[in-house]
Structure 1
Amino acid sequence: MNRWNISKDLEIEVLNRDIHCVYCGINLINKVSKGQSRRNAGTWEHIINDSSIITKENIARCCSSCNSSKGTKKLNDWLKTDYCIKKNINYNSVAPIIKQELNLKSLF
């Protein structure tokens, strides 16, 4: 388990799946070297802001900028923010794991 209670198996699965930020699409790095920009640093993301949901459908990797911007906002609300509009982050640009969550929300 890592410090976010993500099992090693799930951590490996998500690291292999999310090599790009699930929101803006930049290439992620897993470890930032001294003097290297944190812009591409991969961070753990709960797509639904509930830290008790630790599943491959809710855990993703995104860049620190997107993670910081999203914070505790609901996904649909965050996609309407100036940050997402400026970066052209929308349903068509996000990773399949994010589209899956957005599609689930539209069913209710």
Structure 2
Amino acid sequence: MANRWDIPEWLEQEVRQRDTSCVYCGIDFTPSIVSTKSSASWEHIINDARIITLENIALCCRSCNASKGQKRLVDWLSSPYCLKKKISFETVAPIIKMAIENDR
């Protein structure tokens, strides 16, 4: 069975175990009733909804997800949002570093 984003249950469980904080800015997730900006949201690292793999599905905060939108990772990392929040290749989660390396 899959969730409403077509992520299979086994994959959702693996990603939830791996991504316990935002893969981009590193903040701990909060329940959306506490703050929607810091609540977890599903992310396609490479902006292709057809790629539903452990390497392309991650959890990030809604704030980072909204900022990244459809931008390529390398472009987004040089955005004013990332500069302000000090998000860079060096600070992102290993799954994001791997995606950037594979995109070169």
Pick the TM interval, shorter chain. over 0.9
* Per-residue deviation, 1:103: 1.2
Q: What is the alpha-carbon distance in structure 2 between the residues aligned to residue 68 and residue 78 of structure 1?
A: 11
Match runs of 1:1-108 below 5 Å: 1-29=2-30, 31-33=31-33, 36-106=34-104
Residue identity (%): 53
Structure 1 length normalisation: TM-score? 0.91
Structure 1 segments, 4+ long, off by >3 Å, are none
- CA RMSD of superposed structures (Å): 0.9
Q: What is the alpha-carbon distance in structure 2 between the residues aligned to residue 44 and residue 21 of structure 1?
A: 10
Partner amino acid for 2:18?
Answer: R
Equivalent pairs counted in the alignment come to 103
Structure 1, gaps ≥5 residues long = none
Structure 2, gaps ≥5 residues long = none
